Amino acid sequence: MRHQPLAGYRILDFCWMIAGPLATRLLADLGAEVIKVESMARLDAIREIGVQPQGMLTLDTNGVFNDCNANKKSIQLNLGSPEGVRLAKELAAQSDVVTSNFTPDRMDRWGLGYDDLRAVREDIIVASLPVMGKEGPHAAWRSVGNGIIAMGGLNALTGFPNRAPVGLGTLHSDFTTPYFAALQIMAALHDRERTGEGQFIELAQYESAVHLLDTEILDYLVNGVETERRGNRSRENCPNGVFRCLGDDRWVAISVRDAREWQALCEVIGLPGLGARDDLQSLDGRRAIEPQIEALIEAWTVSRERWDVAAALQARGIPAAAVEDVADLVDGDPGPRDAFERVAHPAGIDILLQHEPITWDGERLPIARAPFFGEHTASVFNDLLSIDEDALADLVAAGIVQ
């Protein structure tokens, strides 16, 4: 790659778990030097939670941690002591951005809030990614992705009518919030280039989850209509859903938008007479017998391969796609092919890392494994703070570096 747009910027990263680290990973992928601050006193729990290679259980081989923290450095620093906080301020003084995703007051209580850090670098950019904002009755709330998407209204809309909500199956906000956060941070860096001024940024993960809704809030505000769960059905298209195909847990998604596509669908599945019925040319007409239409479609798809079904319908201009699972995404054909990269790990295994869904100058962004716990403590302290090996040993003995 000829150029990484954030090369030369330094991020002092106090984030943990998923949403915050994925935001700073994007900045690292774009070339920023991201220094992850960790300690045994406040270990990043995602080092322990999640997928481990078979037969391994270490702080350095967790699959989720490696994916969230590729391209970063790691230092150990215990913020439970005044000396640890002083060293953190010295590192912040040589950094462009400081990030965290604790409760809003946590950095202030350590003495590392925005006002504290402005005192050591006037143009510092501080980005906080709490669950809730720093003001209001719920400012101290904590949560993980499941709670955030529930609070944000997503769970209430997910599932089938007259049944309990089922959620999304993934911690969706953990993997969408990072793009909001990275965009804000890059905008603040751009603004500082023009004005010379720093910035305090707060992104409430709860609010970012609300932004994942479609028109449901607007419909309620304007029309007083509270959207009900629709399962796989749609207000705009009919039929619209997933249909069982040949094989174990194999499905195809089909959506019909208008009368032309409806007629084409009926021709493909061998029911041209149904496609010609006057009462079924309209959306409301098809909706009136939607269960029967769905049963007829599945009677045709259930004996066919999902890829064949999708191809046959796509050839007639009907939106259709095989429902892919994780194995399809990694090994399938077609698959995203170069969206994943196997990176050698010193533990004697390969780590599968996911690239950002962008290219720069036609190339994937460079990717390197996540750091071992505290792997860069000595080099960062020496390079940025001129702390030599003997002085570092004293800090370790005193429990300040641990």
pLDDT in tens, 98-120: 999 999 999 999 999 999 999 99
Rounded-to-integer distance, Cα 5 and Cα 32, Å: 8
Do 313 and 388 lie in one domain? The reply is no
pLDDT score for 253: 98
Give the chain's end-to-end CA distance (angstroms, integer). Answer: 36
- Cβ atoms of 340 and 351 within 8 Å: the answer is no
The CATH number linked to 322 is 3.30.1540.10
pLDDT score for 159: 93
Secondary structure class of 241 (helix, strand, coil): strand
- Cβ atoms of 176 and 212 within 8 Å: the answer is yes
pLDDT score for 169: 77
Do 304 and 386 lie in one domain? The reply is no
Rounded-to-integer distance, Cα 381 and Cα 389, Å: 9
For residue 303, report the phi and psi dihedrals to the nearest 5 degrees.
-105, 10
Averaged pLDDT for residues 304-322: 98
The residue range of the domain holding 269 is 240-330
Do 169 and 273 lie in one domain? The reply is no
Q: Which residues pair with 253 in a beta bridge?
A: 242, 321
Do 250 and 366 lie in one domain? The reply is no
Q: Using 50, 70 and 90 to split pLDDT, how confident is the model at 50?
A: confident
The answer to the question of residue 80 being in a domain is yes
Count of domains for the chain = 2
pTM, entire model: 0.92
The answer to the question of residue 221 being in a domain is no
Residue 197 class from Cβ within 10 Å (0-12 exposed, 13-18 middle, 19+ buried)?
Answer: exposed
pLDDT score for 263: 98
Do 122 and 32 lie in one domain? The reply is yes
Rounded-to-integer distance, Cα 68 and Cα 30, Å: 14
Do 256 and 184 lie in one domain? The reply is no
Residue type, position 20, single letter: G
Averaged pLDDT for residues 179-187: 97
pLDDT score for 340: 86
Averaged pLDDT for residues 14-41: 96
β-pairing, 125-128 vs 199-202, is parallel
Do 202 and 265 lie in one domain? The reply is no
Do 312 and 259 lie in one domain? The reply is yes
